[in-house]
Chain A
Amino acid sequence: MKRSSKLFAALAGVVLLIGGAAAQTTINGAGATFPNPLYSKWFSEYNKLKQVQINYQPIGSGGGIRQLSNQTVFFGATDGPMTPEQMQQAPGKILHLPTVLGAVVPVYNLPGTQGEIKFNGPVLADIFLGKITKWNDPAIAKLNAGMQLPSTDITVVHRSDGSGTSYIWVDYLAKVSPEWLKKVGVNTSVNWPNGLGGKGNEGVAGLVQQTPGSLGYVELIYALQNKIAYGSVQNAEGEFVRATIQSVTAAAGAAVKNMPKDFRVSITNAPGKGVYPISSFTWLLLYENPKDKGQSKAMVDFVRWALTDGQKFAPDLGYAPLPAEVVKLEMEALNTIKVS
Chain B
Amino acid sequence: MKRAFARQDLGFRLVTGAVALSLVLLVVTIGWELARQSQLSIAKFGLSFWINDIWDPVSGEFGARPFIWGTLYSSVVALMLATPVALGIAIFLSELCPAWLRQPLTFLTELLAAIPSIVYGLWGIFVLVPAVRTLEASMPAALRQLPFFSGPPVGVGMLSAVLILAVMVIPFTSSVAREVLKAVPMSQREAAYALGATQWEAIRAALYYARTGIIGAIMLGFGRALGETMAVTMVIGNNPQISLSLFAPQYTMAAVLANEFTEAADELYLDALIEVGLVLFVITLIVNVASRLLIWRMNRTVTVRKIAPVVATPVGDAA
- Interfacial residues, chain A to chain B (CB-CB below 8 A): 59-63, 65-66, 83, 85-86, 153, 155, 160-163, 184-191, 195-199, 203, 206-207, 210-211
Q: Would A59 and B238 be within 8 Å (CB), given that A185-B58, A196-B249 are in contact?
A: no
User: In the complex, A195 Cα to B241 Cα: how many Å?
Assistant: 11
B239-291 interface (Cβ within 8 A of A): 239, 249, 251, 255, 258-260, 262-266, 269
Q: Tell me, yes or no, whether B198 is within 8 Å of chain A by CB.
A: no
A186 to chain B: closest CB distance in Å?
Answer: 7
Are B263 and A162 within 8 A (Cβ)? yes
B130 in contact (CB, < 8 A): yes
B171 proximal to A (CB < 8 A): no
The reply to whether the CB of B156 lies closer than 8 angstroms to some CB of chain A is yes
The one of B234, B239, B264 in contact with A199, judged by C-beta atoms closer than 8 angstroms, is B234
Interface string of B123-163 (1 = CB under 8 A from A): 00110011001000000000000000000101110000000
In-complex Cβ contact of A191 among B55, B125, B155 (8 A): B55
Number of CB contacts from chain A to chain B under 8 A: 91
Cβ of B239 and Cβ of A191 under 8 Å apart?
no
Kindly report which residue of chain A lies nearest to residue B237, judged by CB atoms: A196
Task: Compute how far the CA of A181 lies from the CA of B266 in the bound complex, rounded to whole angstroms.
Answer: 19
CA distance A210 to B134 in the complex (A): 11
Distance between B135 CB and nearest chain A CB, rounded to angstroms: 14
**Pairs across A and B, CB under 8 Å, 5 listed:** A83-B265, A162-B262, A163-B263, A191-B54, A199-B234
> Cβ of B262: which chain A residues have Cβ within 8 Å of it?
59-60, 62-63, 161-162
Known contacts A189-B260, A199-B234, A210-B129; is A66 also within 8 Å of B156 by CB? no
Closest A residue to B125 by CB, please name it. Answer: A206
The distance from the CB of B254 to the nearest CB of chain A, in whole angstroms, is 13
Known: A66-B265, A162-B260, A196-B239. A189 touches B57 (CB 8 A): yes
Is B317's beta carbon under 8 Å from chain A? no
Q: Which chain A residue has the least Cβ–Cβ distance from B263?
A: A162
Nearest first, the 9 closest Cβ-Cβ pairs linking A and B are: A162-B263, A197-B238, A160-B238, A185-B58, A62-B263, A63-B262, A191-B56, A161-B259, A60-B262
Instruction: Flag whether B71 is at the interface (Cβ < 8 A).
Output: no
Q: In the complex, what distance in Å separates the CA atom of A188 from the CA atom of B264?
A: 8
Closest to B266 in A: A85
Rounded to whole Å, the gap between the CB of A87 and the closest CB of chain B is: 11
Question: Given A66-B265, A207-B156, are A161 and B260 neighbors across the interface (CB < 8 Å)?
Answer: yes
Residues from chain A with a CB closer than 8 A to the CB of B129 are 210
- Chain B residues near A83 (CB-CB < 8 A): 265-266
Alpha-carbon distance A253/B2, docked complex (angstroms): 90
Query: In the complex, given contacts A85-B266, A189-B259, A191-B58, what are 20 additional A-B residue pairs having Cβ atoms less than 8 angstroms apart?
Result: A62-B262, A62-B264, A66-B265, A86-B266, A161-B263, A162-B263, A185-B59, A189-B263, A190-B57, A191-B57, A196-B154, A196-B237, A197-B259, A198-B238, A203-B125, A206-B125, A207-B156, A210-B125, A210-B130, A211-B154
Q: Footprint of A on B, CB under 8 Å?
A: 54-59, 125-126, 129-130, 133, 152, 154-156, 233-234, 237-239, 249, 251, 255, 258-260, 262-266, 269
Which of A163, A185, A191 has the largest count of B CB atoms less than 10 A from its CB? Answer: A191
Which residue of chain B has the shortest Cβ distance to A185 in the bound complex? B58
Using A186-B58, A187-B58, A207-B156 as known contacts, say yes or no to A195 and B239 having CB atoms under 8 A apart: yes
CA distance A197 to B125 in the complex (A): 13
Q: Which of B156, B264, B265 has most chain A Cβ within 10 Å? A: B265
Q: Kindly identify which residue among B154, B251, B263 contacts A63, using a CB–CB cutoff of 8 Å.
A: B263
Expressed in whole angstroms, the minimum distance between the Cβ of A109 and any Cβ of chain B is 12
Given A196-B249, A203-B125, the answer on whether A160 and B259 have CB atoms closer than 8 Å is yes
B193 to chain A, nearest CB (A): 43
Q: How far is the CA of A188 from the CA of B269 in the complex (A)?
A: 12
Instruction: Tell me which residues across on chain B come within 8 A of A61, comparing CB atoms.
Output: 263
How many Å from the CB of B214 to the closest CB on chain A?
A: 35
**Residues of chain B lying within 8 A (CB to CB) of residue A59:** 262
A203 and B264 contact, Cβ closer than 8 Å, known pairs A185-B58, A191-B58: no
Q: A86: nearest residue on chain B (CB-CB)?
A: B265
CB distance from A285 to the nearest CB of B (A): 12
